[in-house]
Amino acid sequence: MKDFIIPVRERDMGTPARSGAPVTLTIDGVPVTVPEGTSVMRAAAEAGIQVPKLCATDSVEAFGSCRLCVVEIEGRRGTPASCTTPVAEGMEVRTGSDRVRKIRRGVMELYISDHPLDCLTCAANGDCELQDMAGMVGLRDVRYAAPEGAGLANHFEARNTSGAANPEWLPKDDSNPYFTYDPSKCIVCSRCVRACEEVQGTFALTIEGRGFDSRVSAGGAGDDFLTSDCVSCGACVQACPTATLQEKSVIELGTPDRSVVTTCAYCGVGCSFKAEMNGDELVRMVPYKHGKANRGHSCVKGRFAYGYAHHQDRILKPMIRERIDQPWREVEWDEALSFAAARLRGIQARHGRKSVGVITSSRCTNEETYLVQKLARAVFGNNNTDTCARVCHSPTGYGLGQTFGTSAGTQDFDSVEQTDVVIVIGANPTDGHPVFASRLKKRLRAGAKLIVIDPRRIDLVKSPHVQAAHHLPLRPGTNVAVVSAMAHVIVTEGLMDEAFIRTRCDWDEFQHYAEFISDPRHSPEATEMLTGVPAASLREAARLFATGGNGAIYYGLGVTEHSQGSTTVMGIANLAMLTGNIGRPGVGVNPLRGQNNVQGACDMGSFPHELPGYRHVKGAEVRAVYEQLWGVEIDPEPGLRIPNMLDAAVDGTFKGLYCQGEDILQSDPDTKHVAAGLAAMDCVIVHDLFLNETANYAHVFLPGSTFLEKDGTFTNAERRINRVRRVIPPRNGYADWEITQMLAKAMGADWGYTHPAQIMEEIALTTPSFAGVDYALLEEKGSVQWPVNDAAPEGTPLMHVDGFVRGKGRFIVTEYVATDERSGPRFPLLLTTGRILSQYNVGAQTRRTDNVIWHAEDVLEIHPHDAELRGVADGDWVRLVSRSGETSLRAKITDRVSPGVVYTTFHHPDTQANVITTDYSDWATNCPEYKVTAVQVSLSNGPSEWQEDYAAQAAQARRILPAAE
Amino acid sequence: MSPEKMVRMANQIAIFFKTQPGDDAAEKIAQHLSDFWEPRMRDQLHAHIDAGGAGLDPLVIAADARIRAATAEG
Ligand code: SF4
Ligand code: SF4
Ligand code: SF4
Ligand code: FES
């Protein structure tokens, strides 16, 4: 299939699009019709006429400072700037008279007089708008020069000819690992400042000084880019028309000459990028303007942190070993695959068909995941397939399935632009889903209200120009009580949308529910002691949500990773139904998925009880579809989930595992139990980029490929199926789908896929919600949101528009049940976990990029009061102990966490936060209870014994024998 | 899996369905166990109940009886 290659430079329309009533005008005699509010500049661009410009770009609002874009308008005096002048009916615009040409040349002359003329050696040569505009306006000479004897009147020469320093000159700021700021090339157009404000919402940049002294400045006096609030999203670099803000990779490798559109492989936002190439070298990743999830924005991970593909730790040859205490031996693919196949078949012969299983990856493509679960079902002959979504969003599947009839998130990301009140619960979008956070903040700055429900004061609670109306800092583990208390207020104060409930929901179930939730024991006053949330602010928040217009709920793992995770999801669905906030833009229930393809991994039948498309294996008709196609019999009983696999391994009935792209030893709770399970197996096959922690217990290592090296699709949190396109050839030799296929063949299967498009054909053929998906459609539309079928041939941006998938929405009684994990005298604090912007999940990729500059280690956040009680000072090593285990890390004292609560991230294997977490889990899905662990904290003087033993074992297990000659 | 862990997981399921309206909690628990627990886990539950069922919610025991009856039929 042909790559989707587009020119590197896309058209810049000058100012953002508008939506309004049509207005018709003529530009240079050409009639054009555009929405009201559109600028004359954009209207001209629509008519195919480019007006010269410098300070305008279509990602930010016009500013009107450079005056290069002047035009003449019939009946108006002077020469208005076309970027700031809105169109009017019947307007007649001339963009090219002698008068405006002269003005433009004068403007350019002034700019160029204060700009170095080193174009040929400049990193932006050929990719510079100043250069383009000088050419476009026909600038031929520059008459300004510094007056004799006076100081240098420019910003670009460090010294004058006699060697005296130029006080106006500033050195380059190289502090950011990915881009540079070279003030000598700045034209002070403020595009960067506006991008940081409007697109990213961080407000890290300002223009300091006035007139000739104006400068772009990151942070306050004495700050550079690294020490400022800058989060390295790259929006300013993108907006800069010159080489002032420039990617270091472009400085090093040269400007790109072609680009391939693909999808970020980090988080569930699923941003579209142009991978820009110079020959066959990847020069930079630039967010794609037509990407429907990100609309041209990105975060530091997708934009810059792709260097792990070339990291020296990457394993490129298959390896095997008899026992895990031996060093690895590099072998050819054939040998590794036949070794693995023989072991798995041997285990099955000795211990039965169900003694082996697979773990699919939320990082791999849909096609790859589909093949891995097919391997279990069709080749192993069992349903032992699970995915790491088990440990994050399985309660979403269960909870929304029960209430609405499908686990799907209800909206697209564009929906946030029409929301009025947003609840963010158990999610930290500025760190976990940065591009969504930027879009949300934009809407909040435009007036929408925000309610944050989280034990920790996340950044969204208060950041520049954004302040939450309410922050409900609940005690970890009391989500159900808080959500129920909100529902209690809405029902008892009569704020529900009765018309919606009567027409759209099951009225009998609602009656039960209303009676249940009205009980005074659910009132905010009754639960205040338990949840720690002041009753008055909870009441106000509930009223605001019920009466404030379009209400949308966004939630994350702080909801699901609890023993009552599924119940909280149902509670959230209840809230949305109560207030009629389902089935139109601006509302809905929106799970924020963690990894890039969590949604896809679930859709593709990774779960042990479900075939692709969320159909239970007990259904004979569904099994028949696959039985006919694959020519095998499918087990009607559910298989083992990840925690069950490990339990069964310890019990001796589960002996072999093929684990693709997951590091369960680091990411799953209760590390010691995971290690014991892995150690009890006879064949662990790890298929990954690096020797991850799980690989310490593996017998076969199959080197994987990165998202840059293969074709396929990812499905993001809004159910959007995005193409992943091969940018460079796989360094390990094969795309991951090929490797799974080779393993299947080594075990006797007769698979013959030659391109992922054929796998998608099989998915479409067997899965009703994917019936209309094929690569040709994706090529044409860019992306589609499932369901895609005869009823919705172009996909489904909004779910449940005319009725719920299950028919009537179902209210479910949500009784709060305290988790067994309680603080007590031995473990008086509650630990909750999360992540930060620059790192991703277990960190295997981001730790192998320059992103470590922002997060070199995991730290423990602790409230000053709790710290003082324990004699802990900021930066001290502390011991963190739970009933599962202990670890050591450094303390960070902050009042972001409430007294009694401590918080850490889990990005680094040496910290092993999961040594601490327990094996408690969600009642319905076994999703582990990461978010609540009772712990004690005390001073320590370094790594714990476990950490040292672990490091020694890991070093031992990672030895590789030099290749035999 | 350790018996304590199994008992806790089974009881957690029972606690949820107990709070739901209607008098068919045992049936719903049985359904949930059949849908989500791999046969090995259900066997362990049967064995634990045969050995006295220590610690289990009575509804789990009732549910287990239904699972066995259904298996015998099917
Ligand atoms: S990289 Fe992003 S956050 Fe940093 S200054 Fe530029 S726009 Fe602002
Ligand atoms: S750094 Fe670039 S975008 Fe910012 S003001 Fe200077 S030239 Fe304009
Ligand atoms: S990590 Fe997420 S938000 Fe950042 S670029 Fe990738 S998909 Fe977008
Ligand atoms: S582009 Fe319009 S004033 Fe600069």
Predicted local distance difference test score (pLDDT) of residue A873:
93
Q: Answer yes or no: do B21 and A813 touch at CB < 8 A.
A: yes
pTM of the entire structure? 0.89
**Which fold is adopted by the domain A5-137?**
Ubiquitin-like (UB roll) (3.10.20)
Q: Answer yes or no: do A512 and B21 touch at CB < 8 A.
A: yes
Minimal C-alpha gap between B73 and chain A (Å): 16
The phi, psi pair for B13, rounded to 5°, reads: -65, -45
Minimal C-alpha gap between B65 and chain A (Å): 18
Nearest to A651 among B1, B16, B19 (CB): B1
- Name residue A165's beta-bridge partners: A159
Residue A151 has pLDDT above 60, yes or no: no
Residue A965 has pLDDT above 50, yes or no: no
CA angle A533, A535, A541 (to 5 degrees): 85
Mean pLDDT taken over chain A: 88
Q: Answer yes or no: do A647 and B1 touch at CB < 8 A.
A: yes
Minimal C-alpha gap between B7 and chain A (Å): 12
Residue A2 has pLDDT above 50, yes or no: no
Residue A263 has pLDDT above 80, yes or no: yes
Query: Quick check: A605 and A387 in contact, CB under 8 A?
Result: no
Residue A508 has pLDDT above 60, yes or no: yes
Nearest to A923 among B13, B34, B37 (CB): B13
Q: Which CA distances in Å does A128 have to A186, A187, A698, A784?
A: 12, 12, 51, 34
ipTM of the complex: 0.89
Number of domains in chain B: 1
Query: Quick check: A106 and A142 in contact, CB under 8 A?
Result: no
pLDDT level of residue A892 (50, 70, 90 thresholds): very high
Task: Assign domain A319-392+598-746 to a CATH class.
Answer: alpha beta
Of 3.40.228.10, 2.130.10.30, 1.20.990.10, 3.30.70.890, which CATH number belongs to A394-591?
Answer: 3.40.228.10
Nearest to B37 among A512, A638, A820 (CB): A638
Structure tokens that stand for A793 in this block: 């041939």
Residues with CB under 6 A from ligand 3: A 264, 266-267, 269-271, 294, 298-299, 301-302, 434-435
| Ligand 4 atom 3: residue of nearest CA | A64
pLDDT level of residue A101 (50, 70, 90 thresholds): very high
Instruction: Indicate if ligand 2 lies below 6 Å from the C-beta of A715.
Output: no
Give the 3-state secondary structure of residue A726: coil
Residues 6+ apart with CB under 8 A from A659: A358, A359, A684, A685, A686, A687, A688, A694, A698
**Which fold is adopted by the domain A829-957?**
Barwin-like endoglucanases (2.40.40)
Nearest to B16 among A641, A651, A923 (CB): A923
What atom of ligand 4 comes closest to residue A67's alpha carbon?
3
Instruction: Indicate if ligand 2 lies below 6 Å from the C-beta of A240.
Output: yes
Which is it for strands A783-785 and A877-881: parallel, antiparallel or unpaired?
unpaired
Predicted local distance difference test score (pLDDT) of residue A149:
54
Query: Quick check: A14 and A42 in contact, CB under 8 A?
Result: yes
Q: Where are the domains of chain A?
A: 5-137, 179-310, 319-392+598-746, 394-591, 829-957
In 3-state terms chain A splits into helix, strand, coil percentages (rounded to 5) of 35, 20, 45
| Ligand 1 atom 1: residue of nearest CA | A232
Residue A1 has pLDDT above 60, yes or no: no
Query: Quick check: A850 and A177 in contact, CB under 8 A?
Result: yes
**DSSP classification of residue A279:** T
Q: How many residues does chain B have?
A: 74
- Name residue A34's beta-bridge partners: A23
Cis before A787? omega within 30: yes
Q: Count of CB atoms within 10 A of residue A549's CB?
A: 15
Instruction: Indicate if ligand 1 lies below 6 Å from the C-beta of A231.
Output: yes
Q: How far is the CA of A85 from the centre of ligand 4 (A)?
A: 10
Residue A894 has pLDDT above 90, yes or no: yes
Instruction: Indicate if ligand 2 lies below 6 Å from the C-beta of A190.
Output: yes
**Which fold is adopted by the domain A179-310?**
Alpha-Beta Plaits (3.30.70)
Instruction: Indicate if ligand 1 lies below 6 Å from the C-beta of A235.
Output: yes
Q: Beta strands of A816-856 (E only): which ranges?
A: 829-834
**DSSP classification of residue A897:** B
Predicted local distance difference test score (pLDDT) of residue B73:
67
Residues of A with CB under 8 A from a CB of B: 354, 383-384, 512, 516, 563, 567, 608-609, 616, 618, 637-641, 644, 647-648, 650-651, 653, 812-813, 815, 817, 820, 919-921, 923-926
What is the pLDDT averaged over residues A456-462?
A: 90
Q: Which domain holds residue B20?
A: 3-73
Nearest CA in chain B to A650: B1
Minimal C-alpha gap between A348 and chain B (Å): 16
Strand order in the sheet with A319-320: A329-330, A319-320, A700-703, A683-688, A656-660, A356-360, A385-387
Residue A910 has pLDDT above 90, yes or no: no
Structure tokens that stand for A895 in this block: 């009042």
Residues 6+ apart with CB under 8 A from A856: none
What is the pLDDT averaged over residues A38-52?
A: 95
The winner for highest mean pLDDT among A36-40, A459-463, A621-625 is: A36-40
pLDDT level of residue A949 (50, 70, 90 thresholds): confident
